[in-house]
Amino acid sequence: MANVTVIGAQWGDEGKGKIVDWLASRADAVVRFQGGHNAGHTLVVGDTTYKLSLLPSGIVTGTLSIIGNGVVLDPWALKAEIEKLEGQGVVITPDNFAIADNCPLILPIHRDLDGLREAAAGTGKIGTTGRGIGPAYEDKVGRRAIRVCDLAHLDSLDLQLDRLCAHHDALRAGFDQSPVDRDALLSELCEIAPFVLQYAQPVWKRLKKVRKAGAKILFEGAQGVLLDIDHGTYPFVTSSNTVSGTAAAGSGLGPNATGFVLGIVKAYTTRVGSGPFPTELEDEVGQRLGERGHEFGTVTGRQRRVGWFDAVLVRQTCSISGVTGIALTKIDVLDGLDEVKICTGYRLNGQVYDYLPSHAADQEAVEPIYETMEGWSQSTAGARSYADLPANAVKYIQRVQELIETPVALVSTSPEREDTILMRDPFMD
């Protein structure tokens, strides 16, 4: 049996939560390996809706859930999320939840800096969630981060605080802000430390034991490949690598452990915040898709931008991330359209491109080349077998996999866990 790595193959918000929840019910461990609480997953189980930002989706089913070292952790957001889920009846203990002890922390000063930068950027803002993700990763790379393991040694944190505060005081001065209140920061860390430390451990050792026992591990990515710091639409990206290869470095297991790579792909395209979007629809069709798809961010509540399916981008992300098969979600949102379009290429300065250029100005200037297909009037919502789908919906799915050069492994037809058509089992590959 294979392990499975799940990533978003567009700009995030592809419906990973439902797919990861479906897979988590069959896994023995679920691992978050990058990002922070800027990621949002909505799970619908029966009559209950769970909204997760930081916790791995397996926590709802009681599956061993692990936050890996590649994640940046806001301990106060973690505490609030755990308390909310416990209020919904979810049991969370050190037996079923663990945090990498070498995981960097998001501090209040990171949130402050994130907000100050975005406010000062005006129309040039990146469109971050304002949760301090980027500044926390900067401090990690700058070797001045406070990590989970440091919470057990707060009495010897002076030198680290010196380096951290010296850096942030200079930045804050540039925004006409007062220096970091070092005593208040240390007090907050002292207060939250016992809560976090009960879950802290070298998770690479725990995962090694799980793997040695032959258990199935699900690696859960956040955001999408088009937001990857290297391969995304830079600078309108997140601050971590979102590609499948990060699962190894961000969990402490080697690359041979990541297994089947499942790319989650929405049957159309959405994006939150600023940045290029070649197939964006700003007409009645776009409004209809947004309303039917309930396109509002789980974390931010911001309305998502909506467009036609972009096969150029998904082919590119599948190649970059070594995707074995895709899970196609929200095909039911396309129900009732007379025609549907797929972007098959771009025009830029009289030249045809079969990929998205790297430069931001070129990305903004490309014009999509569309292929038009006949739509379907019958409903696909709730279908659980390929035979239940309208003929034109089947043609659409087949054309998508041809254009992205990657097979469809799953088709999701509603937010409900069981409304899933399985064409290729990732865990049995």
Note the pLDDT of residue 2.
81
Assigned token pair, 244: 């499948």
For residues 360 and 91, what is the distance between their CA atoms, to the nearest angstrom?
A: 45
Note the pLDDT of residue 124.
65
Assigned token pair, 212: 């040695």
Pairing assessment for the beta strands 351-353 and 97-100 based on DSSP bridges: unpaired
- Any idea which residues carry the catalytic annotation? 13, 41
Cis bond upstream, residue 235 (ω within 30): yes
For the chain, give the longest Cα–Cα distance.
Answer: 67
DSSP code, position 199: T
Burial readout 296-319 (b: 16 or more C-beta within 10 A, e: otherwise): ebbbbeeebbbbbbbbbbbbbbbe
Residues of the chain with pLDDT under 50: none
Tell me how far CA of residue 66 lies from CA of 71, 81, 163, 255, 422, in angstroms. Answer: 10, 15, 30, 18, 26
pTM for the full predicted model: 0.92
What domains can be seen in the chain, in order of their start residue?
Answer: 4-100+199-260 (3.40.440.10), 108-196 (1.10.300.10), 266-428 (3.90.170.10)
The SS3 call for residue 348 is strand
State which H helix or E strand residue 261 sits in. Answer: strand 260-266
Note the pLDDT of residue 44.
74
